[in-house]
Structures are given as C-alpha cells and as structure tokens.
Amino acid sequence: MTSAAVDEGWVSEPPDWYDEGEPPDWYETEGAPPPPDDEPPDDGPLDVTAAPSRGSALQVLGDVWGYPGFRGDQATIIDTVVAGGDVVVLMPTGGGKSLCYQVPALVREGTGVVVSPLIALMADQVAALSALGVRAGFLNSTQGGLERSRTERALLAGELDLLYLAPERLTVPATLDLLDRARVALFAIDEAHCVSQWGHDFRPDYLRLSVLHERWPQVPRLALTATATAATRAEIVEKLNLDDAAMFVADFDRPNICYRIVPKDNPRGALLNLICTEHDGQAGIVYCLTRASVDETAAWLTTQGVAALPYHAGMDARTRAANQARFLREDGLVMVATIAFGMGIDKPDVRFVAHLDLPKSVEGYYQETGRAGRDGLPSTAWLAYGLADVVQQRRLIDAGDGDEVYKRQASRHLDAMLALCETVDCRRTQLLRYFGQDGPADGCGNCDTCLVPPQDWDGTLAAQKLLSTIVRLDRRGQRYGVGHLLDIVRGKQTPRVAQLGHDQLSTFGVGADLSEREWRAVVRQMLAARLVHVESSYSTVRLTEASGEVLRGERQVRLRREPAAQPRPKRAAQPKTQPVADGGGEPDPGLFEKLRTWRADTAREQGVPAYVVFHDSTLREIAAVRPTSLEALSQVSGVGAAKLERYGPGVVTLVEQG
C-alpha cells in the first residue's frame, strides 16, 4: 500500500479480500459423500510389510530415524507417554514435536492416532514415514473408498503404527466406532492451538476432542503446538480436558533465524534485493495481507526472474494444491501467500520468510517466521513495516465486526507487535520475553538491532509540533489525514494548504528540520505508542488521552532512528547459541551438489518431496564425512535402517566417484 492511501479517504474494503476466518481449503467436511468404490486398486503409500522391531525409545530413534539422541525434553516426554501419561508439549516450529508422538507410537502396542487439521499434507507426512519404514496411513476425504477401506482393514489388523485423521473425521460416530474396534496406542493432537478462538487457526471441531478422554480414558494423549503464550496454553488445557497432563515448555529460541525488521521504503525492491543478494535460488515464503497483493507480488517477482508462486484462499482449490505441492517438491521456489498458507508445512529447507505487511500478533509472526530453517541451518526472517501498516491494522480492528472483548484483545496483540517493530533492543530477547522466556542477556548477535544497533533520540519536541498543529485545527473544527498535517508542519505550500489558509497557522513550517521520511517515522511511532489516533472512517488524525501529557511536557517521547545501513548477518558471525544442526567439518561443495542432484532425481522418481529422501543437513554431513562404506554411512545423522538399505549403495557409489 502506498502512503497516499492513508491520506485519501481510505475506506475499509469489503471483508472478502481478507483471508482471516474464511473456511480453510484443507477443511475436512463431515458430510462429504464417499467417493465411488469402482476405482482401480491403488498402490498408494500404505506400506504394510514388515513391522519395525519394537524396542526402547532410543533404539527406535537410532534404527528408524538414524538419529543418535533425543533433544531437549523429547526423552522425558516420550517416557511419560510410553508409560501411559498425558502431556502438553509447547515447542517452537522445528523443535522436534513429531518425534514426541511418533516414537511412542512405535514403542507402545497398537496404533498412534494423530489428529491434524491439514488433510492436504497428510499424504506427504505418510510418505515421509513410509520412507523410514514406518507403517503409516491416513483417512480423509481426498481418498477413494478402496484406499480408505484398505487403511481401515490395516488398522483393525494391527498393521498400522500411525494413523492421521482430521478432527472433523475423528469425531463422527463411524470413526469413533472404528477406533473402538482397533487398538489405540495414543492420541496426538497436533496444532492444538486450533482450540483457541483468538487465533486465526480456530477449528471448531477441536473443541469436540474432549471426547477422546471420555471414551478412552486409559489411552495417553499428547497436545502439541508451537504457540506458546500463557493464554493459549491455558485454553488448550481447559478445552481438551488436560488438567492432569504433564506440561513441557521448550526453549522457544530459534538461534539459526536472523530477525530483521526494516522500514517500509520500496518494499518490493528491498525484498528483491534480499532474495538476490542473500537467498538466490533458495526456497522462501513471502507473506502479504491481501489476496490482490499476493497475486501482484508473485507476478512481479516472476518478471524479475525469481521463481515465485501465489497461494491464497481465493484461488481455485486445484491450482492452490498444485502450487503447494510444487513448493514442497521443487528446490528453490518462493511462495507468495496470505496467512492461509503454511500451517503444517514441514519443508525443512525454507531459507527465508519475508513479511511485506505487518502481522496482527507476535504469536502469528513467530509461527510464520518459524517456518524458516527447520533444519537448523542459517535462515532469515525479514519484515518491512511502515506508517500505513499501523493505520491499516488499527482500522481493521476498529471497523471489524468483533465484539468489544475481541477488539480489546486484538488491540493488545497489535500493540505487542508494534512494540517489537519499534524496539531498539534485541529483537530475539523481546520475542522470547513475549513468550515468558529469557533471551540472551547481552543481545543475541543475530538480529538487526544487535548487528547494527539503532539509536534512539528525543522526539518530544517533534511530537509537540505535530500535536499542537492538530490542536489548532481542532479549534477550527477541522481534522485531516497524515499527509496534509505533515505538509503544514514541514511548511509545504500546496494548493490545498493555500486554499484552506493553513499557511497562516503558527505551526506552519515549524518542522522543516526533518525530512518527509523522518516525519513519517515520527508519526508511525506516535501511532504505535497511541500518542495520536487515526479515525477509522476518514483516516483523520486526532488526539488521544496521552497527547495532553506530551503537550504539557509531562511525558518524554523516545523515538527510534533507523540505521542508515541495512543490517546483514556477517558470514562468519556465529549466533551465540548454536544452531541445532551440526554437520561436523565443512562439506565438500562439489559432492554436496552431486548429492542434491541425485536426491532431486530420486524424489521425482518416487513422487515425494526431496526432503523425504534426505534432509539438507544429512546431505551436508555426508559431503563432509565422505562415508565409503554402508557402516560409515549408517553413522550419519538422518540415515536409519530403511534409508540405509534403500539408498545406501547408491550414495556410497556417489561418494566414491566424487
């Protein structure tokens, strides 16, 4: 949005351009007619051959996943569930939540039932498990009847380790009856924050999941989410009846992500610059607020030579699904999307997440940016933020049709987001504090404010100049938008100024010492701090209660001065906390590229995303260690028994040739 839009009676748009609250495309419909049964039998991903040996959790981790050990609380969580206890798991995206239910599902007798809101991703999740030799399946409306009954039979025969279901399907009587006849090892409720009516991911059927506890009190349950505020946490416990569950709150830091928030000044150009100079040819997500800007931005990036695809809920379902599948399967695509995209996307090598518009809450922002760098390798979270964003978001809240409680909540969320944008302190410390955790005491060294510290300056006088202009106009019974106010303060002789006689005001030209750009930063921060208010109906600026304190000199206004240089992580600079992935020595670049090409071919042949074959971090370790025997390859993190058998000889040959 251009700044002009703020000034020219920028009337709220009809709500349908806005992605919040619309039925998500991945919504499972209860009453969907069953697909015809006369389809050809398929050889889908359901792999019901040999049961993996059930052993201790650590044994299963090594044999199946090829990982040497658990991370953080994983071991304790898994032990609790294996022993039959309920748990609530709060871990950041990429923290390793899936293993918390997948491992116990393999250790305990019976099938682990995973409740997930994302039917569009179930096939990929099952494919990833099948590649590990785990017997997994799903039941949802994308399936044909034959495939479904095949999965049901496997479940009843005890031939499934994991079964994925959407909550809408789980809570229908037929499914409940089916599960009665099966042996259930555990229930994992993924994306458990979907019980929360405050977030944008609310799914009413999550509220009905308390049935699990009533019907199968002896089966352990896990609720898992990456959303960590105390309020959401309390809601999960209450709505899912988890009062007796053990609560695990992980460290929410994502040390490999470099957080950067830049002033919105030619945002598309800045985005292109970011992509070309730091993330050329890499996968990324660009979030926009509106569907129109998603389409425009994707088209524009394409004309600039960036391989970009659009995704929003207004597109037809087929194109949307195709774009999502391409993003997951192909290397180096940029997805331009509304917030309708992203939940459950477990692509590990997303190297950057960019926001072209201000997110509505820190929770949303943290979830969205958390989709970068799940593999633990260095990644960027980049946000462009400006005056118009504050005006627009405040207006969306004011003009929205929520009740007063909702609006107050939304305002609080927005204020926290604005505070993050305007801080002169470490972004990470501020983010973690929002989630009730301590960040690094002396800054993280891997965010823009740590890399290029911004200065703060005394903006009290500037604020008084603007406020007294508003007071003088108020006395005349007049109200104006930001643009005209700044023309007066800066002493700009526009036709409108002349016509209205505003060059006669005593404040005309008192702010000529600051540029237009600097003034906009002043107004933006005053808006963020609620020192002025922009009316939702006509975009006119008015005073607030706090304005008087500033005018009377009772309150000082500290403002942030944007650093001239754009902060960029120094290549050599290591985050103070170590990223999770650690490939050992330096990978051989030639071999790494060879392995990537081999992986792309293999993935295409098998119709799965490349990361299902091996993660980047595994390929990097192989390229560093250069294993020339199956035994040596099996020591690499991410090479479990099934993958060793399937890909081992090919990889060893590649290493020997390389």
Q: What is the DSSP string of 488-502?
A: HHHT---HHHHHHTG
Cβ of residue 223: shortest distance to ligand ADP, in angstroms? 13
Residue 446 has a CB neighbour count (10 Å cut-off) of: 27
Specify the DSSP class assigned to residue 163: E
CB of 615 to ligand ADP, least distance (A): 6
If 0-12 CB within 10 Å is exposed, 13-18 middle and 19+ buried, where does residue 340 land? buried
Report in angstroms how near the CB of residue 369 gets to ligand ADP at its nearest.
13
**643 belongs to the binding site for ligand ADP (CB under 6 A):** no
For the bound state, the minimum distance from the C-beta of residue 137 to ligand ADP, rounded and expressed in Å, comes to 19
Output 99 or 353, the one with its CB closest to ligand ADP: 99
Dist. CA 389–CA 651, nearest whole Å: 50
Contacts 24+ apart (CB under 8 A), 14-18: 17/290, 17/291, 17/292, 18/289, 18/290, 18/396
Q: Using the rule CB under 6 A, give the single segment among 67-75, 438-446, 537-545, 595-603 that binds ligand ADP.
A: 67-75
Amino acid identity, residue 371?
A: R
Residue pair 176/215 in contact (Cβ under 8 Å)? The answer is yes
If the CB atoms of residues 64 and 447 are measured against Zn ion, the closer one turns out to be 447
Distance CA 523, CA 519 (A): 6
CA 110 – CA 133 distance, rounded (Å): 16
Q: Which among 443, 458, 457 has a CA at the least distance from the CA of 567?
A: 443
Nearer to Zn ion, 455 or 515 (CB): 455
The stretches of 375-534 forming alpha helices (DSSP H) are 387-399, 404-422, 427-434, 448-451, 460-475, 482-490, 495-500, 516-528
How many CA atoms does the CB half-sphere of 297 hold within 13 Å?
30
For residue 461, give every residue at least 6 positions away whose Cβ sits within 8 Å of its Cβ, in sequence order, or none.
Answer: none
Residues 402-441 that bind Zn ion (CB under 5 A): 426, 428
The partner in contact with residue 346, picked from Zn ion, ligand ADP, none with C-beta cut-offs of 5 to 8 angstroms by kind, is ligand ADP
Q: Which residue among 24, 44, 45, 96 contacts ligand ADP (CB under 6 A)?
A: 96
Residue 529 contacts which entry, ligand ADP, Zn ion, none (Cβ below 5-8 A, type-dependent): none
Interaction partner, residue 91 (ligand ADP, Zn ion, none; CB < 5-8 Å by kind): ligand ADP
Positions 437 through 466 that interact with Zn ion (CB under 5 A): 443-444, 447, 450
Residues 602-641 that bind ligand ADP (CB under 6 A): 615, 637
Residue 45's nearest CA partner among 111, 132, 117 is 132
Please state, in angstroms and rounded to a whole number, the distance separating the CA atoms of residues 501 and 281: 55
DSSP letter, residue 12: P
Rule CB under 6 A: choose which of 78, 88, 90, 99 binds ligand ADP: 99
> What number of chain residues touch Zn ion (CB under 5 A)?
6
Candidates 67, 216, 300, 406: give the one binding ligand ADP (CB under 6 A): 67
Looking at the Cβ atoms of 89 and 289, the one nearer to ligand ADP is: 89
Does 12 participate in binding ligand ADP (rule CB under 6 A)? Answer: no
**70 touches, from ligand ADP, Zn ion, none (C-beta below 5 to 8 Å by class):** ligand ADP
- Cβ at position 255, least distance to Zn ion in Å: 10
Q: For 236-288, what is the HEC assignment?
A: HHHHCCCCCCEEEECCCCCCCEEEEEEECCCHHHHHHHHHHHHCCCCCEEEEC
Among 10, 57, 60, 93, binds ligand ADP (CB under 6 A): 93
Q: How far apart are CA 189 and CA 242, in angstroms?
A: 12
Residue 97 engages ligand ADP in binding (rule: CB under 6 A): yes
Of residues 428 and 490, the one with the C-beta less far from Zn ion: 428
Does 489 interact with Zn ion (rule: CB under 5 A)? no
Residues in the chain, overall count: 658
The sign one gets for the Cα dihedral 62, 65, 69, 70 is: negative
Closer by beta carbon to ligand ADP, 97 or else 135 = 97
Give the position of tokens 């416990």. 237
Residues in 347-376 that interact with ligand ADP by CB under 6 A: 348, 374-375
Using CB atoms, what's the residue nearest to ligand ADP? 96
Number of residues near ligand ADP (by CB under 6 A): 18
Which residues, 309 to 348, sit near ligand ADP by CB under 6 A?
Answer: 346, 348
Q: Does 490 bind Zn ion (CB under 5 A)?
A: no
- 253 touches, from Zn ion, ligand ADP, none (C-beta below 5 to 8 Å by class): none
Part of the chain binding ligand ADP (CB under 6 A), chosen from 11-19, 93-101, 145-153, 478-486: 93-101
Write out the residues near Zn ion by the rule CB under 5 A: 426, 428, 443-444, 447, 450
Binding site for ligand ADP (CB under 6 A): 67, 70-71, 74, 91, 93-99, 346, 348, 374-375, 615, 637
